[in-house]
Chain A
């Protein structure tokens, strides 16, 4: 990178392919993630969504294709790039013996040690609706929904330019989903490019600016919110979501 303030967006994936043994997981995937945009990645289980997230987060080197960050082709996702993206996996990936605040502070201190800034842990956790009396309780005592909020708080504390969220709504109740959706919209408005995978179709329809359908490792359809006609987007997006299957939270 020639300068730390050059944007890393848009992020462009070209002809990305990945296989595990004989199983082909991604086949020539092209995808663009733009700033100030929430892109919903939908697909059935096993479609290759998590693999795509790992490739974007630098946790997996693709077998083929290229990744571009801010117009620059990137081989390895180095520390400088990792400083500007954040990944929230399906599992919260928190130290169970530490409290919510301690978990965030550890990663904040690691950022500070690298010369990077981070928002105060208490403020971020409060913004995501974590009760004040839960800040110092071990994360192992948290419900899945609370742990997921802490994981998201850790991700947004570093003000990432790219936010990768692999099923962040799992195990959240309706209020939690609503709070999280609000937080995502706030992040988007800050200018962040967000890639979001979820089986919660209602929230996807509410927050996403684009929907991308991944089937058996291939992107088969994309729909985009035009701005002029929300109803038309909702209708086209519903078609995409119908192709995935029933909504996990439809009965909630």
Chain B
């Protein structure tokens, strides 16, 4: 007897997320690349801007924070479907009795965790390096809410596009090109809210509320479009796979490929 759809979705999402994390913990490929990149960027920011006065760093800190998130997010999302793409396991998941939405939740969840790990280095780093970032220490709950909401919005829309481009050739470059325009609204929202946090703006809860609302919209959009985007990418992948398959079969049979 099949479980109800929400139960299936929850349980399968957790299973796929656990599998993602286990595989990531085995080789630490994404975490190491992303954290190393974050540390390098922090070092560069420090060498470039540490000598500036507080009033000059105040407008810069939000940009430094979300620019780094955007770059780390691109690194993470371009590789989010690599395991599935290399071994074609995405198609095995799509053919299995798995809620397609669970794949989205797991991918977005694992990407979010990688981003949060990087932010766990980035935010204290910025707070230590720049006097303007001291507010991050002073208002820890608000800072955590800001970072989580900003990263969540970013992965909600980014995972959707990463899935859509999981099939074709040259996809990583294309994803990087597409990601920046589609994530700009989230990043802008996050930027403005960070500035409000650093200014200790009394309307900060309202800013955070608007970010949460944007996240809900983007998550809803991602959930709604993920399956059509993912399965819609299949024909391109199918044609490509069929050509590759024919080449492999011809090679195995020791015959020349017709031109």
Separation in Å of the B9 CB from the closest CB of chain A? 9
Interface centre among B2, B96, B239 (most CB of A within 10 A): B96
**Interface SS of chain B:** helix
Q: Please give the residue numbers on chain A whose beta carbons come within 8 Å of chain B beta carbons, in ascending order.
A: 4, 20-21, 25, 45-46, 50-51, 54, 57-61, 79-80, 82-83, 85-87, 89-98, 106-107, 109-111, 113-116, 154, 158, 167, 170-171, 199, 246, 248
Which residue in B19, B94, B250, B252 is a CB contact (below 8 Å) of A170?
Answer: B252
Q: Is the CB of B246 within 8 A of A45?
A: yes
Q: Is the CB of B87 within 8 A of A82?
A: no
Which residue in B16, B86, B97, B253 is a CB contact (below 8 Å) of A79?
Answer: B97
In the bound complex, how far is the Cα of B88 from the Cα of A96, in angstroms? Answer: 10
Which residue in B91, B231, B253 is a CB contact (below 8 Å) of A248?
Answer: B253
Q: Is the CB of B26 within 8 A of A97?
A: yes
The verdict on A93 contacting B87 (CB below 8 Å), with A45-B246, A46-B246 known, is yes
Pairs A–B under 8 Å by Cβ, sample size 30: A4-B1, A20-B235, A46-B246, A50-B238, A58-B94, A79-B2, A79-B8, A82-B98, A91-B241, A93-B88, A95-B87, A95-B89, A96-B83, A98-B23, A106-B15, A106-B19, A107-B92, A110-B12, A110-B97, A111-B97, A113-B3, A114-B2, A114-B8, A114-B11, A115-B1, A115-B8, A116-B2, A116-B97, A158-B97, A246-B253
Contact with A along B86-126 (1 / 0, CB 8 A): 11110110111111000000000000000000000000000
Q: How large is the interface on B (under 10, 10 to 19, 20 to 34, 35 or more residues)?
A: 35 or more
In the bound complex, how far is the Cα of B249 from the Cα of A170, in angstroms? Answer: 9
**Interface SS of chain A:** loop
**A-B contact number at CB 8 A:** 125
Q: Please give the residue numbers on chain B whose beta carbons come within 8 Å of chain A beta carbons, in ascending order.
A: 1-3, 7-8, 11-12, 15-16, 19, 23, 26-27, 83, 86-89, 91-92, 94-99, 231, 234-235, 238-239, 241-242, 245-246, 248-250, 252-253
Residue of A nearest to B90 (CB): A93
Q: Is the CB of B89 within 8 A of A94?
A: yes
Q: Is the CB of A82 within 8 A of B96?
A: yes
